[in-house]
Amino acid sequence: MKRKRIVIFGANGMLGHDLRKVLEKDYDLVLTDIQDGDIRDFSFVEKFLNKNLPSIVINSAAYTDVDGCEKNQKIAMEVNAYGAGNIAKASKKISSWLIHISSDYVFDGKKNLPYKEDDPINPLSIYGKSKALAEELVRKEANNYLIIRPQWLYGKAGKNFVFTILNLSKKQKEIKVVADQFGSPTYTYELSKAIKVAIEKKLQGIFHIAASGYCSWYDFAKEILKISGITETEVIPISSDDLKRPASRPNNSKLDCSKWQKFTSFPMKSWQKALKDFILSIKQEGIFK
């Protein structure tokens, strides 16, 4: 049987890297990233899709430096929002199914319970605003789409919180970490497996997908050190106000993934189990010593 073709924008990014690993066995993958062309350029996106005629397009490309987006608002909007709009428009022209990766930062974090897909969005940061506008453009431009909102991603192929904590633990006896923001740390490899299931199930609309269970960044840091057997470094809880970062983040970033569970019955690992797998794997592969 002829394999379905998937174009991945942002294929060299942290999620893109694991998407490739998970999808390459069953799909004909065509990979692209900033080196080949810029998603802000509609003619590049259109030509690339017209040349490859994929059944499915995954947009994992984004300007993901949340604090950097506050300084570079124009770039954030152009890449994250209008770039996504370009991909949606060009995908529709060739009748491809668009899978767009969004974010938990479209919410303001003021709700007491985990966020459901149809809760009102109200982003706090420029990054969140750019991702929210992207969702609007995808819904407007593409009629065959899946928007996935993941959160707190870490993986082997990118800068992320796990590497930051492990690096700091080599230099510092104390690491201060915010204890008043809550969510689910999600391994890009596990998310990629879930995206494969979403493809097989032909999901449409918006879905929240994250590891199961919730914690704060402080809990996450402590678990990283515990799993790694690092006892000489202490994690000190601080508040978001203490940290004074350029971009505001939601305090409650918890995503309710029950819609995903209902439609797929695919069990997402607990954040602790997935983190253990990740740390074991980076040690075995010598990615982190």
Ligand X SMILES: NC(=O)c1ccc[n+]([C@@H]2O[C@H](COP(=O)([O-])OP(=O)(O)OC[C@H]3O[C@@H](n4cnc5c(N)ncnc54)[C@H](OP(=O)(O)O)[C@@H]3O)[C@@H](O)[C@H]2O)c1
Q: Please report how close the Cβ of residue 101 comes to ligand X at its closest, in angstroms.
A: 4
Q: Please report how close the Cβ of residue 1 comes to ligand X at its closest, in angstroms.
A: 30
What's the residue count for the chain? 289
CB 124 within 8 A of CB 248: yes
Q: With respect to ligand X, which residue has the nearer C-beta, 14 or 279?
A: 14
Applying CB under 6 A, the residues found at the interface with ligand X are 10, 12-16, 33-34, 38-40, 60-64, 79, 83, 101, 103, 150-153, 158
Q: Tell me the longest C-alpha to C-alpha distance in the chain.
A: 57
Q: Please report how close the Cβ of residue 247 comes to ligand X at its closest, in angstroms.
A: 13
Q: What are the Cα distances from residue 142, in Å, to 77, 94, 97, 102, 139?
A: 19, 11, 8, 15, 6
Q: With respect to ligand X, which residue has the nearer C-beta, 10 or 109?
A: 10
| 88 HSE (CA, 13 A, CB side) | 24
Q: With respect to ligand X, which residue has the nearer C-beta, 2 or 15?
A: 15
Q: With respect to ligand X, which residue has the nearer C-beta, 60 or 91?
A: 60
Report d(CA 256, CA 214) in Å as an integer.
Answer: 10
Q: Please report how close the Cβ of residue 209 comes to ligand X at its closest, in angstroms.
A: 10
Q: Please report how close the Cβ of residue 194 comes to ligand X at its closest, in angstroms.
A: 13
Report the 10 Å Cβ neighbour count for 100.
27
Q: With respect to ligand X, which residue has the nearer C-beta, 18 or 180?
A: 18
User: CB-based contacts of 196: which residues, under 8 Å, 6+ apart?
Assistant: 22, 23, 26
Residue carrying structure tokens 């954030």: 76
CB 5 within 8 A of CB 51: no
Q: Please report how close the Cβ of residue 131 comes to ligand X at its closest, in angstroms.
A: 6
Among 217, 195, 190, 193, residue whose Cα is nearest residue 97: 195
In DSSP terms, 99 is beta-bridged to 58, 146
Report d(CA 255, CA 213) in Å as an integer.
Answer: 10
Report d(CA 215, CA 220) in Å as an integer.
Answer: 7
Of 63, 115, 127, 154, the active-site residue reads 127
- Residue 189: active-site member: no
Q: With respect to ligand X, which residue has the nearer C-beta, 29 or 265?
A: 29
Q: Roughly how many angstroms between the first and final C-alpha of the chain, as a whole number?
A: 43
Residue numbers annotated as active site: 127
